[in-house]
Structure 1
Amino acid sequence: MTLTHTKDMRSSDYRRMRTLMDNAPQKIDLPVKVNAGSHQLEADLISALQEGRSFQSEINRLRKEIANARNYPLKEFYNRNIYKILKSLSKKSYLFSERRRLRFLQSAAKLDPNRSLVGTPNQYELKSEITGNELSIKGFQAFDAGKKNVLVVAHEASQTGAPILSYNISKHLTSQYNVTVIFLRGGILSNVFRDVACHVEVLQNRPRGDNSSARRVRGLVAKTKFHFAIINSIESRSILPILKSSNVASVSLIHEFATYTSPRHSFDEVFEAADEIVFSSEVTMSNAIELTNLSANPQIHIIPQGKTQVPKLDTTEEATNLEKKRLKYLMRAGEENKDFVVIGSGTVDFRKGVDLFIEAARVASARAPSIRMRFYWFGAGYDVARDQNYSVYLEDQIKRAGLSDKLTIAGHTTEIDYAYSLADAFLLSSRLDPLPNVAMDAMIYGIPMICFDNASGFSPILNSNGLGDSCVASYLDAADMGYKLAEIAKDQDLCRKIGLQSKQIAFDNFNMQKYVESLSELGEHAAKKIKAG
Structure 2
Amino acid sequence: MSFNEDISFKIQENKLKCAYTSNSQCICVDNFIEHNNIKKDEYLYVLNKWSKYYNYDPFFSTMMLKQMVCNENADLLKFYLLSNLDFKNKKRILVFSHELSRTGGSIVVLDAVKELISNGYYVLVVSPFDGDLRNEYKILSVSVIIDHRLAWTRGEKEEKSLFKINWYMDNFVREFDFLFVGTLMGHNLIARYQNYNIPTIWWVHEGSYSLDFIHKVLPQNLNKNIHVLCGGKYVQDMLKKYNIHYESTILLYGVKDIISNYKYKPNYHEKVRFLIAGTIDKRKGQDIVIKAIKNLPKEILSETEFIFIGARSFGNVYDMLMQEKNNYKNIKVLKTVSRTELFKLYNEIDCLLCASRDDPMPVVATEAMMLSKPCLCSTATGTSRYIVDKENGFIFENENVAQLVDKIIYIVKNKSVLKEVGLKSRKIYEENFSIDKFGLSLKNIMRNIKSDF
Same-fold call, TM > 0.5? yes
Q: Is 2:127 aligned against 1:183?
A: yes
Shift of 1:355: 0.7
- 2:387–2:393 Cα contact (<8 Å) kept: no
The residue matched to 2:133 in structure 1 has which SS? Answer: coil
- 1:307–1:511 Cα contact (<8 Å) kept: yes
Distance of 2:83 and 2:429 partners within structure 1:
32
Match of 2:320 in 1: 393
Match of 1:221 in 2: 173
Match of 1:374 in 2: 305
Match of 1:429 in 2: 355
The 5-angstrom pairing of residues 307-346 of structure 1 reads: 307=255, 338-346=270-278
Distance of 1:365 and 1:100 partners within structure 2:
68
Amino acid at match of 1:285: Q
Match of 1:243 in 2: 193
Distance of 2:187 and 2:195 partners within structure 1:
14
Aligned positions, number = 369
Distance of 1:309 and 1:160 partners within structure 2:
20
The residue matched to 1:265 in structure 2 has which SS? Answer: helix
Distance of 1:526 and 1:306 partners within structure 2:
21
Q: Is 2:376 aligned against 1:412?
A: no
- 2:194–2:223 Cα contact (<8 Å) kept: no
Shift of 1:430: 0.4
Shift of 1:220: 2.5
Shift of 1:210: 8.1
Superposed CA deviations along residues 459-489 of structure 1, whole A, max 9, x for unmatched, are 22103xx646960112222332232223223
CA RMSD of aligned residues (A): 3.3
Amino acid at match of 1:215: W
Match of 1:483 in 2: 406
Match of 1:14 in 2: none
Match of 2:420 in 1: 497
Distance of 1:183 and 1:419 partners within structure 2:
33
Shift of 1:364: 4.9
Distance of 2:222 and 2:257 partners within structure 1:
30
Shift of 1:349: 1.2
- 1:137–1:200 Cα contact (<8 Å) kept: yes
Distance of 2:394 and 2:414 partners within structure 1:
14
Match of 2:76 in 1: 133
Shift of 1:145: 3.6
Amino acid at match of 2:168: R
Distance of 1:178 and 1:339 partners within structure 2:
51
Q: Residue 309 and residue 491 in structure 1: after superposition, are their counterparts in 2 closer, same or farther (change >3 A)?
A: closer
The 5-angstrom pairing of residues 464-475 of structure 1 reads: 467=390, 471-475=394-398
- 1:271–1:277 Cα contact (<8 Å) kept: no
Distance of 1:368 and 1:150 partners within structure 2:
54
Q: Residue 452 and residue 148 in structure 1: after superposition, are their counterparts in 2 closer, same or farther (change >3 A)?
A: same
- 1:168–1:309 Cα contact (<8 Å) kept: no
Distance of 1:354 and 1:342 partners within structure 2:
12
Match of 2:229 in 1: 278
TM-score (norm 2): 0.72
Distance of 2:311 and 2:257 partners within structure 1:
19
Distance of 2:306 and 2:82 partners within structure 1:
41
Distance of 2:375 and 2:233 partners within structure 1:
19
Distance of 2:84 and 2:292 partners within structure 1:
47
Amino acid at match of 1:457: G
- 2:137–2:144 Cα contact (<8 Å) kept: yes
Where do 5+ consecutive residues of structure 1 fail to align?
1-95, 102-128, 311-331
Q: Which has the higher helix share?
A: 1
Shift of 1:217: 2.0
Shift of 1:503: 0.9
Name the % identity.
21
- 1:343–1:423 Cα contact (<8 Å) kept: yes
Distance of 1:430 and 1:307 partners within structure 2:
20
Amino acid at match of 2:138: R
- 1:193–1:200 Cα contact (<8 Å) kept: yes
Q: Residue 210 and residue 487 in structure 1: after superposition, are their counterparts in 2 closer, same or farther (change >3 A)?
A: closer
Shift of 1:352: 0.6
- 2:325–2:333 Cα contact (<8 Å) kept: no
Distance of 1:186 and 1:251 partners within structure 2:
22
TM-score (norm 1): 0.62
Superposed CA deviations along residues 181-235 of structure 1, whole A, max 9, x for unmatched, are 111222232233222353111111326558785323223323xx22212211101
- 1:249–1:523 Cα contact (<8 Å) kept: no
Q: Is 2:409 aligned against 1:461?
A: no
The residue matched to 1:472 in structure 2 has which SS? Answer: strand
Amino acid at match of 1:525: N
The residue matched to 1:186 in structure 2 has which SS? Answer: coil
Superposed CA deviations along residues 30-62 of structure 1, whole A, max 9, x for unmatched, are xxxxxxxxxxxxxxxxxxxxxxxxxxxxxxxxx
Match of 1:289 in 2: 240
Amino acid at match of 1:351: R
Shift of 1:410: 0.8
Q: Is 2:364 aligned against 1:438?
A: yes
The 5-angstrom pairing of residues 122-271 of structure 1 reads: 131-139=74-82, 142-143=85-86, 145-175=88-118, 176-205=120-149, 206=151, 208=153, 209=161, 213-222=165-174, 225-258=175-208, 260-261=210-211, 262-268=213-219, 271=222
Shift of 1:253: 1.1
Q: Residue 486 and residue 425 in structure 1: after superposition, are their counterparts in 2 closer, same or farther (change >3 A)?
A: same
- 1:344–1:427 Cα contact (<8 Å) kept: yes
The residue matched to 2:108 in structure 1 has which SS? Answer: helix
Amino acid at match of 1:134: L
Q: Residue 213 and residue 275 in structure 1: after superposition, are their counterparts in 2 closer, same or farther (change >3 A)?
A: closer
Shift of 1:502: 0.6
Distance of 1:368 and 1:140 partners within structure 2:
61
Distance of 2:322 and 2:300 partners within structure 1:
23
Superposed CA deviations along residues 440-467 of structure 1, whole A, max 9, x for unmatched, are 11111111100112x011222103xx64
- 1:303–1:515 Cα contact (<8 Å) kept: yes
Amino acid at match of 2:413: K
Shift of 1:160: 1.2
- 1:141–1:194 Cα contact (<8 Å) kept: no
Superposed CA deviations along residues 88-125 of structure 1, whole A, max 9, x for unmatched, are xxxxxxxx943999xxxxxxxxxxxxxxxxxxxxxxxx
